[in-house]
């Protein structure tokens, strides 16, 4: 296992959603990103039927889901979307 921590960037849509979340949900996003940054491929593939989509992952805890791309070339995660059911 690598000790590399993958920094995350949020898409403009994810930034807007994040800004609208209540404080406790924003903290949950930070916690979930922290987990994903330590093990980017530890979450299930977004579309398991897509053989070329192995780097698009969905991290979920409770009412929160993050859909992100593992950008191996840049060494970071790119959060495509946030979904908060709260």
pLDDT for 53 equals: 86
Give the rounded percent of residues in the chain with a pLDDT score beyond 70.
97
Q: pLDDT band at residue 38, thresholds of 50, 70 and 90?
A: very high
- Span 57-79, average pLDDT: 93
pLDDT for 16 equals: 97
Contact criterion met (CB below 8 Å) for 80 and 68 = yes
Please name every residue paired with 67 in a beta bridge, in sequence order, or none if there are none. 58, 81
Q: Who has greater pLDDT, 4 or 56? A: 56
What single-letter DSSP state applies at residue 44? P
* DSSP E strand stretches across 1-86: 8-10, 56-61, 64-71, 76-84
Q: How far is 25 from 23, CA to CA, in rounded Å?
A: 5
- pTM as predicted: 0.87
pLDDT for 2 equals: 53
pLDDT for 3 equals: 64
Fold held by 8-84 = YaeB-like fold (3.30.2310)
pLDDT for 1 equals: 43
């Amino acid at each position: 296992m690598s000790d590399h921590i993958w920094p995350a960037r949020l898409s403009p849509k994810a930034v807007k959603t994040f800004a609208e979340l209540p404080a406790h949900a924003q903290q949950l996003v930070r916690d979930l990103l922290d987990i994903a940054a330590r093990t980017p491929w530890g979450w299930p593939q977004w579309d398991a039927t897509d053989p070329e989509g192995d780097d698009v992952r969905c991290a979920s805890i409770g009412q929160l889901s993050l859909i992100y791309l593992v950008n191996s070339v840049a060494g970071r995660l790119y959060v495509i979307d946030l979904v908060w059911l709260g």
